[in-house]
Every structure is written in C-alpha cells, then in structure tokens.
Amino acid sequence: MQYQAGVAFAQEMDSQDPLAPMREQFHIPKQANGDDELYFTGNSLGLQPKLTADYVQEFLTSWQQRGVKGHFEGDYPWLPYHEFLTQQAAKLVGAKDDEVVMMNSLTANLHLMMVSFYQPTSSRFKILVEDHAFPSDHYAVESQIRHHGLTPQEALLLWKPRAGEELLNHQDLYDLIEQQGDEIALLLLPGVQYYTGQVLDMREITRRAHAKGILVGFDLAHAAGNLAMELHSWQVDFACWCSYKYLNSGAGSVAGCFVHQRHAHNTQLPRFAGWWGHDKQSRFLMGNQFHAIASAEGWQLSNPPILSLAAIRASFDVIEQAGGIQAMREKSVKLTGYLAYLLKNELAGKIAFITPDNPKERGCQLSLMVTLPHLNGKALMAQLEARGVVTDWREPNVIRCAPAPLYNSFMDVYRFVQILKECLA
C-alpha cells in the first residue's frame, strides 16, 4: 500500500474504512480535558464494548429474578453458557467447534495441557521454549519439569535470538529440532512474541516438529483476535489464549483452549479431571467414576463464572458485527503499516522499531526503541501519557504501541506520531 504524509491522508483512510463505525461500539477513556485518549494498549487490555454492560446486566437480572433456576431458564441459561461462545471462538482461531472451549485462565490452561501432552520418558524429556518467553510461561514450564522429577538444566531447551539481534531466527529453531528432536517431548512457543511483536510461523514450526515426533503447543495471548489462524489445518496439538487483550473481555476474563480433534476425542488421555469435564448426560447422576467429554470440553474443571462469559459473549458479538477476524486483520495490516511508515519517514534516527518490517511477520504491535542517547525511553513514555497517549513499557527498553482495528483510527496514529515528534523536539 502507498502511504502518504500529512493529515489529509489519515482523514481519507478513515473515511474509506469499513470498520470506522466500530469505534462507536466502545467506551474510549477520556483525558482530563474531555478529549478521547489515544489508546494503544489493546495488546495488554482491550477497551470495553458498550454491549458488555447489557450482557452482564442480563445475567444479573436473571439471577435476581430466577435464583438457581437461572441455570436452566431464560434465553441464555447458565448451565450450557460456555457453549454459546464455542462457534465464535472456533472461528477466531481456525478450529472445529469440538476443538475449543472457554475455561479457566491462560496459565491454568497451559498447566492442564502439559499434564496431558508432556509425558517425558528416559529418552524424550525436553521442552523447547523461546528464551524471552513471557515469565508466566517460563514458570509453568519449569514447574512441570520439576513435577516430573527433572531439572530445567537438563530438560529445558531455549531458542535464542542470535547475538546482537532481537528477533528469533526460524532457521535456528529448525536446526534445534533437527539436532535434538529425538530428545524433545514438547515444543511450547508464542504465536506472537510479546516483547518484539514478532509473529512466528506456526504452520511450518508444527510441520517440522511433528516430523521429529514432537508435540506442539502455542500460547496465543498476543495472537487471538490479532491474527487470522488455522489451528486445525495446521495440525497444532494444543493452544491456549487469554480473552482480555485483543478480544476485549475485561481484566482477568476467562481464557480459551484448543485441543486438536485427534486428541480431543481421546478420552483416555491423562488429565487433571473436574466435574465440568465429565460426560454431560451422566454428570448429575453424581457418580465417582470420571468419563471425559470427547471434545475440548473434557478438560474443564469447575462450572465457569457466568459474569465473565457474558462479557466474552458481548466481545464476540462485536467482532462478528465487524465481519470477523479476517476483516480485523485486513485493517490491522494497513493501520500498523501506516504507523511504521510515519515512524520511518518522520522520526528516522530518533525512534526505531524492533518488530519485523514484513506485515506478514507482525500483528498490531510495534515495539519502539528510543535511539537518542540522551533520552530515556521510560521518560518519553511518561511524556506521552501526560499528553493523552496510552502505550506500555516492557523492560529493558521497549515502548509497545498496538493500534487495534476495532477502535483505533488512522487519525489516532497520525496524532500519536505528531505528539511523539513534539516530545522529541
């Protein structure tokens, strides 16, 4: 796409944007002067859809009027409530309906998946992760290794960037798989690296790992609602994601989980069991013998929090109104591309981004670094915040900026860069 400098281009892009009306579906935080904030942290916490209050109130009203009978009565009874989210969740990640379930939290789901899919033997016992994985993933993986009587020193394999580089090199990963694949039991990687914003080639990674007999899982915290994915056709074994970033479901909202059909239908897989994963037809017979549901639902533990699921249902309905993940991704590529263009053309030598330049290798997020030796990045972010620009900081030296396609505009991006220029003047 041919981008142009100047405010007229941003205004023209917004006038032609089919998703521009979606901004009105969200509550935009205000500055002290009453103007909208320039909010670029949907990669950390998405904004609240206006529909959310209606759906949450619907649950509260049902509880108020029906009490326990709300489990079975009303348009959205609570007993099967998670099922109302299944079809839309499956569309978001490119899955079959029986491969997805909204349950628990992200790290809890990763643990549940590793209980089933990390079964180390004397010869195949390693887990391969990327060196700069989100800390919670490291904690979960290392604790699973120790749970099996191993140590991270012997069983944790790290995929690291090359010396002096920020981005991961896929060939280095493929070499690791080829060289040590016979000892690797599980590969657990992000779909999008949280610090750099780099998108990993999930399809090719899965193909190469499977060729060596390695199971593959992905943490899609920064990919769900950001990228168009095809987890089923890519043959990914499992994946987990949160719903409060690009999916806009509220802080700490219930997470999602994908288990490929070839595993989901295997009720004999080892797992930590709970009664919501038990066969629905006999669940309330209250027997003590566990019979797993032959789908991703078989990994559920307890009945889910309906307040959170109601918020997710609102978010999914807003995404559907927008035309789904494909429409969101199409705008996202243009929007983040515009930000990259302005940074390179108006702030070269002052601000650089370490996120890949190729749109296919990044999502919404650009990870910015200050290249002026006299200016501290954290101090710059504080200046931006004082002027109504909301970004976030990740140690040691990155400002993350993520224009979200549902509520950010091209004018938002233009104004951000102008304010950034003023702060750097």
Chain segment 67-126, per-residue pLDDT in tens: 999 999 999 999 999 999 999 999 999 999 999 999 999 999 999 999 999 999 999 999
For residue 91, the model assigns a pLDDT of 98
Separation CA 178–CA 175 (nearest Å) = 5
Identify the pLDDT of residue 86: 98
Residue with token string 């326990």: 68
Q: At what angle do helices 410-424 and 377-386 cross, to 10 degrees?
A: 120
Q: Closest Cα to residue 331, out of 7, 20, 4, 3? A: 20
Going from the C-alpha of 222 to that of each of 191, 363, 421, the distances in angstroms are 7, 8, 28
Residue 81 DSSP symbol = G
pTM higher than 0.85: yes
Q: How far is it, in rounded angstroms, from Cα 356 to Cα 333?
A: 13
CATH architecture for residues 7-47+323-424: Alpha-Beta Complex (3.90)
* Mean of the per-residue pLDDT values of the chain: 96
Domain borders along the chain are 7-47+323-424, 56-320
DSSP code at position 374: T
Q: 56-320 has which CATH code?
A: 3.40.640.10
- Is the pLDDT confidence value at 374 over 80? no
Sheet holding 351-353, edge to edge: 351-353, 366-370, 398-401, 392-394
Whether the pLDDT of residue 373 is over 80: the answer is no
Calculate mean pLDDT across residues 362-369: 96
Report CA dihedral (292, 293, 295, 300) to the nearest 10 degrees: -70
Phi first, then psi, for residue 244 (nearest 5°) are -105, 0
Q: Could you tell me the pLDDT band of residue 372, with boundaries at 50, 70 and 90? A: confident
Asked if the peptide bond before residue 49 counts as cis, ω within 30 degrees of 0, the response is no
- The answer to whether 127 and 145 have CB atoms below 8 angstroms apart is yes
Q: Which of 204, 144, 226, 155 has its CA nearest to residue 184?
A: 155
pLDDT digits (tens, 9 = 90+) for 293-330: 999 999 999 999 999 999 999 999 999 999 999 999 99
What confidence score (pLDDT) does residue 375 get? 76
Give pLDDT tens digits for 185-196: 999 999 999 999
Count of CB atoms situated within 10 Å of the CB of 189: 22
Check pLDDT > 80 for residue 403.
yes
Q: What is the mean pLDDT of residues 151-173?
A: 97
Examine the pLDDT at 415 and tell me if it is beyond 80. yes
